[in-house]
Amino acid sequence: MKIDPNGVISVPEASARGVSKLVSEASKGRRLIVFKNNQPAAAIVDIKTMERLQYLEGLEEDLKLTAVAWARALIDSGDRHDLEDVAAGFGVDLDGDED
């Protein structure tokens, strides 16, 4: 993650500036990274950036599902098995009858 050193603020500094000022800065396109205990803890960004992030997260999920589908398609032998045959192979009685 590329962090602009001018956009880094601490939690106490963020509190001192106030939410209204931080939101105003973010709405103008400034990205702020809030550090807590010397670690990045939160980001304050404009809504356009947030919407883009959510869109990209959706694409990422779609890509993961597509990769799984392709992997399954590549290893699929085409053989299909009935549930009854598989259950019988494992000694499972699907009717629930006890002997």
Give, as one character, the DSSP assignment of residue 99. Answer: -
CB 9 within 8 A of CB 25: no
Cα 45 from Cα 36, distance rounded (Å): 17
Look up the domain containing 65 and give its range. 47-76
Residue 34 shares a structural domain with residue 58: no
Nearest to 38, CA basis, from 10, 13, 18: 10
Could you tell me if residue 10 is inside a domain? yes
Residue by residue, pLDDT tens for the chain (99 residues) are 566 677 899 999 999 999 999 999 999 989 999 999 999 999 999 999 999 999 999 999 999 999 999 999 999 998 999 999 999 999 999 987 665
Please report the pLDDT score of residue 1 as a whole number. Answer: 58
Residue 16's CATH number: 3.40.1620
Partners of 6 in the β-ladder: none
Cα 22 to Cα 76: distance, rounded to the nearest angstrom: 53
